[in-house]
Structure 1
Amino acid sequence: MPEFRIDRRCPLTPQQAWRRVTDWPRHAAQVPLTGTTVLTPPPTRTGTRFVARTGIGRLAFDDPMEVTEWRPPTAEDPHGRCHLLKTGTFLTGWAEIEVRPHGSGTHVVWREDLRVTRLPRLFDPLTARAGRAVFGLALRRLLSSPSGV
């Protein structure tokens, strides 16, 4: 599967960065033509399920995900980690988000292993580049937006 990694540093605390990068509906606002529906009651935890739907009308697809690890940063342990399993029929794989202190701010790492099920492996490098571009932009916007800290 095509795996990619995105690293970002920001002036937010680990807790602030965590709240932003694990706000699933807010993710959708950063990706064009995408909406997110959380299927389980709050708060987010291991077992939380949500669906990101991307596209318009019949040219849309669902990307259902489940949180399989949920470890928010705390005052005692400022390293946070979230692991998501993609459970769809069109997109499969996983995503992992980590936050950790870096100087007076935070280092955020987003790793993803993404596969478009009907696309031959020949296209894996293109899939990884597209994923890095889309999620890199979303992550930059999530971390730099002036509201929602």
Structure 2
Amino acid sequence: MTRFVVTRDVRATATATWDTLVDWPRHGAWVPLTVLRVESERAGGVGARFVARTGVGPLAFDDPMTVVAWEPPGGDDPGDRPGRCEITKHGRVVHGGAAFSVTPLPGRRCRVEWLEDVTVSPRRLTRYAGPLIALIGRAGFAATLRGLARDVEGRPA
């Protein structure tokens, strides 16, 4: 498996940032070449299912995911419980998991930490190209979290 973590401080409350992060279809606004659709009755909470379709034309693939842990932030003040979401990826191309946390900081800010722990098919690709996959993943998710920050920071408080 390839594991990487990306962290971003956001000038918005933990609650507002969480609400934006768990608006799954909205991810398409920040994740390059990706459209996300919810496949379960409920979009939030444990058991929610969604699919990210990433790529262009015949080079696109589906990344089906299921939420396996869901704990919204306990508030927006430092010391309040961070929000935490864990996702299992069970597609034909990407397998493994992802998780993010949203931790309240002073000054109505928060810190988002995004972790990916994935294998890419064919599995031997991950074995041999794991460091390159992690490097590309970190760069991609850093851009994604910058987009998230622009989105949530641009909204009225």
TM-score class, shorter: over 0.9
Runs of 5+ unmatched residues, structure 2: none
Q: What per-residue deviation string (whole Å, max 9, x for no partner) do you get for residues 21-56 of structure 1?
A: 222111122122211110012341100000000122
Alignment of 1:48-67 (within 5 A): 48-67=48-67
Choose which of 83, 95, 114 in structure 2 pairs with 1:80.
83
What TM-score comes out, normalization by structure 1 length? Answer: 0.92
Percent identity among equivalent residues?
42
- TM-score, with length taken from structure 2: 0.88
Measure the CA separation in 2 of the matches of 1:114 and 1:148.
36
- Structure 1 unaligned residues grouped into runs of 5+: none
Structure 2: distance between partners of 1:120 and 1:5: 17
Distance 1:57 1:147 in 2: 33
2:62, 2:27 → 1: CA distance? Answer: 14
In the other structure, the counterpart of 1:111 is: 115
User: How many corresponding residue pairs?
Assistant: 149
1:66 alignment partner, SS class:
strand
**Distance between the aligned counterparts of 2:113 and 2:32, measured in 1?**
22
Structure (1/2) with the larger helix percentage: 2
* Structure 1 counterpart of 2:14: 14
